[in-house]
């Protein structure tokens, strides 16, 4: 135990007013200058822990019991008036979505000045100077001018910097960063995380870093707690955790990560999902998903077992003398099935794109005359063969998604050629195009927004078939739908339910089934796993790989996630400002990048390498 922790949290329990615990008796400490990461999937209670500490809980959620002290001040008992001085002063918080956290009708300078006035007593001309200094410190160029701009005039990465400047304005001893880079591109993420590390080094500030990203933890945290279903299930130093993850859940999180080494096998997905709040009152909460569970796990709640001075785990494997178990539990590979042999690619290009251009006119003046063009896609050429996966990588705004839509002619290209199975698509009449589109389907990033909430799953799957007059009689279509649900790992009873009744991963399965309903040969997948947790991502990647093996599908996989590219792609195109700047096999581009932009993209990805994982 640290003798002088800055923050100490003891058996903190946060609950819904009706009783179920969201955060359930968690304890941890953070020292000055230390970064402590809370790691886990959505819904495991990480953000609620942060909001409990800040006393910013949403309506209907209360701090039920336990204690939290910062510099010996008891946070949970402080009168609200004094808490306001702590919030933004002793401890500050930055959120995932800077766009939602900044006030759109105040300039960034006014917003930072508010914090300076409240917590530092600085006002007037001094406040303006301090604002400019803070904006410079967080790397905003031309700070003297930009201080009087509004949030909408800043990009996502710059807004996050403004949020950090606001947080730093109160000179906090503890910064709580809740998924601070999840909404950002990988190069901006690297810059923001470096900025936080540098600031910490200069000020000795402590940081509570909330993330689901093991790469971010590997590069930034000193110590880590893994949360599952409201509890901390493992706590260790970063090196201990990465060298030898103890809890079966932590081991599975590591095993679910896609990478090149896993290319020829299915990723180890964690079956099932996090249990609903309060649904497991007895036994281990991970037991329904744990392949090491035995009778005791269902009957008795595991206690916290200390392994070392500052390391511990909540699992019976470490508290009971179990035959065949040891502290160094080998990773269970029972779910790592070999994928079926991918059908040999014929190498004949299925899709050939040459010199494709999509330019959007910029109109000005009363007469809306064309004053110039935004060249969203600027002379792109690529090819995809049957049964192959081409990854299109690049950052937000580089033209990836516009290109995907232009291939399907959802956006009319300005110029160039798109040949599918030997015939030209550009210039086709609308009805001819509609029948060709069946062979090329799209799967979108957000499974929440891409399914019609008013239709049941069966209707969603049938819609495309009806529109294209495919699938035969109504009973033949129903049989086809049953087959699609089986293929995509969904229960047949799912047909009669609505999208909102499913989890994110299940909805993405429905979106894939919908795309497959019209028997396509090419799927354009636009960031299909970026809204999903790592274990759910593993399930979807496994599904896409096995569908490719079974049906010989080709994929154009639009993504910014290079680990997914390593796992899935045969070829890679790197896009930057509307152009393809590098292309080649996945091996060539990722192992020996030639273009400076590809090099900087690869350098910005947080890596877990260099920290040997106990079980591969």
Nearest CB to ligand SF4, comparing residues 5 and 248: 248
Residue 274 has which token pair? 């996090």
Distance CA 430, CA 436 (A): 10
Nearest CB to ligand SF4, comparing residues 198 and 291: 291
Residues that bind ligand SF4 (CB under 6 A): 248, 284, 286-287, 290, 292-293, 297, 302, 315-317
Helical (H) or strand (E) element with 236: strand 231-237
Nearest CB to ligand SF4, comparing residues 299 and 611: 299
Return the closest-CA partner of residue 38 out of 224, 250, 193: 224
Helical (H) or strand (E) element with 178: strand 174-178
Nearest CB to ligand SF4, comparing residues 289 and 583: 289
Q: How far is the CB of 533 from ligand SF4 (least distance, A)?
A: 18
| Helical axes 457-467 vs 504-516, angle rounded to 10° | 20
Q: How far is the CB of 349 from ligand SF4 (least distance, A)?
A: 48
Distance CA 406, CA 395 (A): 18
Q: How far is the CB of 187 from ligand SF4 (least distance, A)?
A: 37
Nearest CB to ligand SF4, comparing residues 36 and 286: 286
**Cα–chain center distance at 333:** 25
| Helical axes 474-487 vs 457-467, angle rounded to 10° | 120
Nearest CB to ligand SF4, comparing residues 248 and 464: 248
Place of tokens 């050429």: 381
Residue pair 508/528 in contact by the 8 Å Cβ criterion: yes
Q: How far is the CB of 327 from ligand SF4 (least distance, A)?
A: 13
Nearest CB to ligand SF4, comparing residues 43 and 593: 43
Nearest CB to ligand SF4, comparing residues 22 and 317: 317
Q: What are phi and psi of 120, to 5 degrees?
A: -120, -5
DSSP state of 167: H
Distance CA 329, CA 614 (A): 9
Q: How far is the CB of 328 from ligand SF4 (least distance, A)?
A: 14
Q: How far is the CB of 279 from ligand SF4 (least distance, A)?
A: 15
Nearest CB to ligand SF4, comparing residues 294 and 360: 294
Q: Residue 584 forms beta bridges with which residues?
A: 572
Q: Residue 295 forms beta bridges with which residues?
A: none
Q: How far is the CB of 288 from ligand SF4 (least distance, A)?
A: 8
Q: How far is the CB of 323 from ligand SF4 (least distance, A)?
A: 13
Nearest CB to ligand SF4, comparing residues 316 and 495: 316
Distance CA 594, CA 576 (A): 14
Residue pair 272/256 in contact by the 8 Å Cβ criterion: no
Residue pair 197/221 in contact by the 8 Å Cβ criterion: no
Q: How far is the CB of 300 from ligand SF4 (least distance, A)?
A: 9
How many C-beta atoms lie closer than 10 Å to residue 487's C-beta? 17
Return the closest-CA partner of residue 259 out of 193, 194, 215: 215
Distance CA 337, CA 330 (A): 17
Q: How far is the CB of 212 from ligand SF4 (least distance, A)?
A: 19
Q: How far is the CB of 227 from ligand SF4 (least distance, A)?
A: 14
Nearest CB to ligand SF4, comparing residues 288 and 483: 288
Nearest CB to ligand SF4, comparing residues 319 and 588: 319
Q: How far is the CB of 270 from ligand SF4 (least distance, A)?
A: 12
Residue 314 has which token pair? 């909540």
Give the HSE-up count for residue 554: Cα atoms under 13 Å, Cβ half-sphere.
22
Q: How far is the CB of 230 from ligand SF4 (least distance, A)?
A: 14
DSSP state of 549: H
Give residues with Cβ within 8 angstroms of 571, minimum separation 6: 384, 388, 389, 390, 391, 583, 584, 585, 586
Q: Residue 554 forms beta bridges with which residues?
A: 522
Give residues with Cβ within 8 angstroms of 117, minimum separation 6: 123, 127
Nearest CB to ligand SF4, comparing residues 111 and 250: 250
């Amino acid at each position: 135990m640290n003798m002088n922790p800055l923050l100490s949290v003891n058996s903190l329990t946060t609950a819904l007013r009706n009783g179920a615990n969201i955060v359930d008796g968690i304890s941890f400490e953070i020292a000055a200058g230390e970064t402590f990461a809370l790691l886990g999937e959505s819904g495991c209670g990480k953000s609620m822990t942060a909001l409990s500490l800040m006393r910013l809980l949403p309506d209907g959620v209360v701090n039920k019991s336990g204690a939290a002290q910062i510099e010996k001040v008891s946070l949970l008992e402080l009168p609200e008036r004094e808490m306001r001085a702590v919030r933004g002063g002793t401890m500050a918080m930055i959120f995932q979505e800077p766009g939602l956290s900044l006030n759109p009708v105040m300039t960034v300078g006014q917003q930072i000045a508010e914090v300076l006035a409240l917590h530092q007593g600085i006002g007037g001309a001094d406040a303006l100077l301090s604002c400019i200094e803070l904006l410079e410190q967080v790397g905003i160029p031309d700070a003297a001018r930009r201080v009087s701009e509004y949030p909408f005039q800043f990009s996502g990465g710059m807004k996050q910097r403004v949020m950090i400047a606001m947080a730093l304005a109160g000179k906090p001893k503890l910064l709580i960063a809740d998924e601070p880079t999840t909404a950002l591109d990988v190069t901006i993420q690297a810059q923001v995380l470096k900025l936080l590390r540098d600031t910490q080094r200069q000020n000795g500030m402590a940081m509570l870093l909330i993330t689901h990203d093991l790469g971010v933890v590997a590069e930034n945290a000193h110590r880590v707690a893994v949360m599952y279903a409201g509890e901390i299930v493992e706590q260790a130093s970063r090196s201990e955790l990465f060298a030898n993850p103890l809890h079966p859940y932590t081991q599975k999180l590591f095993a679910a990560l896609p990478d090149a080494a896993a290319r020829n096998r299915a990723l180890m997905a964690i079956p099932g999902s996090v249990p609903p709040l309060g649904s497991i009152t007895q036994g281990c909460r991970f037991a329904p998903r744990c392949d090491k569970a035995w009778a005791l796990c269902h009957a008795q709640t595991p206690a916290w077992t200390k392994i070392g001075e500052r390391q511990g785990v909540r699992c019976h494997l470490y508290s009971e003398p179990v035959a065949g178990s040891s502290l160094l539990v080998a990773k269970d590979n029972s779910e790592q099935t070999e994928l079926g042999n991918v059908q040999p690619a014929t190498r004949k290009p299925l899709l050939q794109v040459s010199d494709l251009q999509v330019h959007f006119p910029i109109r000005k003046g009363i007469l809306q005359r064309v004053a110039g063009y935004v060249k969203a896609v600027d002379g792109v050429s690529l090819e995809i063969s049957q049964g192959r996966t081409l990854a299109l990588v690049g950052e937000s705004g580089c033209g990836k998604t516009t290109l995907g839509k232009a291939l399907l002619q959802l956006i009319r290209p300005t110029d160039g050629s798109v040949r599918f199975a030997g015939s030209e698509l550009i210039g086709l009449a609308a009805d001819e195009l509609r029948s060709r589109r069946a062979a090329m389907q799209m799967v979108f990033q957000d499974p929440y927004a891409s399914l019609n909430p008013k239709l049941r799953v069966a209707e969603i799957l049938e819609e495309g078939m009806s529109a294209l007059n495919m699938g035969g009689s109504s009973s033949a279509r129903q049989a086809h739908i049953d087959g699609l649900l089986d293929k995509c790992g969904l229960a047949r009873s799912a047909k009669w339910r609505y999208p909102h009744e499913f989890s994110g991963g299940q909805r993405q399965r429905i979106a894939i089934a919908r795309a497959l309903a019209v028997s396509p040969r090419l799927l354009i997948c636009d960031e299909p796993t970026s809204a999903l947790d790592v274990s759910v991502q593993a399930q979807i990647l496994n599904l896409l790989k096995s569908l490719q093996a079974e049906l010989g599908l080709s994929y154009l996989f639009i993504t910014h996630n290079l680990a997914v590219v390593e796992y899935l792609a045969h070829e890679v195109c790197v896009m930057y400002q509307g152009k393809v700047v590098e292309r080649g096999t996945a091996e060539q581009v990722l192992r020996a990048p030639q273009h400076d932009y590809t090099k900087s993209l690869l350098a910005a990805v947080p890596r877990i390498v260099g920290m040997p994982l106990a079980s591969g």
